[in-house]
């Protein structure tokens, strides 16, 4: 199943969008499920070149575990935060900027749930490899949707040296409502499981 989902790389930074090449595998990372609330201690990318105009950068992505249940592909997609490539300028560690970065991580979790649901709803047969294209289409659509969501999030919070407090509060509430409306990934049956690796870094 490793060939079904091609690596997807993108980076969404605070108050803008940068395209970077990054790897999902790293020495330090944690999942949204186990560590949903960020703190500035999680941003340890001290050797990362600071991009002009950016207060902080959140690097997050996905890993997925797939399994066949009664001949149908099931998958659990996990949102992860990459500690060593996420950074903040030392003089920009404000609660408002942290709240903004939290939003980027929460959006990654939201789309992890959406791709899980989309693959399950597609009811892809494990025996029919021709249906691998369906998984690729889901991944491609996810890439476009997530990029658009992250860009819209930066736009809606108005950017600048710090996000607009009122706009940021509205955006954070909207993301929380979407997470509440989208079921999580807990109901995943593991048997003869195998890993499907794909990465969408934000």
Nearest CA among 65, 102, 106, 82 for reference residue 22: 82
Burial class (CB in 10 A: 0-12, 13-18, 19+), 44: middle
The CA distance from 124 to 4, in Å, is: 12
CB atoms within 10 A of CB 184: 14
Where is average pLDDT lowest: 1-5, 110-114, 144-148, 195-199? 1-5
CB atoms within 10 A of CB 191: 8
pLDDT for residue 109: 94
pLDDT at 160 over 60: no
Q: What is the average pLDDT value for the chain, to the nearest integer?
A: 75
Of 95 and 182, more confident: 95
Contact 11, 202 (CB under 8 A): yes
The CA distance from 66 to 60, in Å, is: 20
pLDDT for residue 197: 38
pLDDT for residue 176: 95
Model pLDDT for residues 59-117, shown as the tens digit of each residue: 998 887 777 888 887 778 889 999 999 999 998 999 999 999 999 999 999 999 988 88
Q: What percent of the chain lies above the pLDDT cut of 70?
A: 73
Q: What percent of the chain lies above the pLDDT cut of 90?
A: 35
Contact 74, 115 (CB under 8 A): no
Of 58 and 133, more confident: 58
Average pLDDT over residues 9-37: 54
The CA distance from 30 to 51, in Å, is: 24
Beta strands in the chain (DSSP E): 11-13, 16-18, 29-31, 56-57, 60-69, 72-82, 87-88, 194-196
pLDDT at 178 over 50: yes
């Amino acid at each position: 199943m490793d060939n079904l989902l091609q690596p997807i790389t993108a980076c969404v930074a605070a108050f803008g969008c940068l395209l970077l090449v990054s790897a999902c595998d790293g020495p330090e990372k944690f999942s949204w499920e186990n560590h949903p609330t960020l703190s500035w201690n999680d941003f340890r990318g001290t050797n990362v070149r600071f991009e002009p105009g950016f207060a902080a950068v959140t690097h997050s992505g996905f890993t997925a575990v797939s399994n066949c249940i009664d001949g149908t592909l099931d998958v659990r997609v996990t949102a992860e935060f990459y500690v060593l490539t996420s950074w903040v300028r030392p003089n920009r560690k404000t609660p408002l900027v942290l709240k903004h970065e939290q939003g980027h991580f929460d959006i990654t979790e939201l789309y992890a749930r959406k791709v899980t649901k989309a693959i399950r709803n597609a009811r892809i047969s494990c025996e029919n490899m021709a249906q691998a294209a369906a998984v690729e289409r889901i991944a491609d659509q996810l890439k476009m949707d997530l990029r658009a969501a992250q860009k819209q999030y930066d736009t809606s919070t108005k950017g600048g040296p710090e996000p607009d407090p009122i706009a940021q509060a509205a955006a954070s509430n909207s993301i929380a409502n979407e997470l509440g409306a989208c079921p999580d990934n807990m109901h995943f049956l593991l048997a003869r499981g195998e890993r499907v690796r794909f990465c969408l870094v934000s």
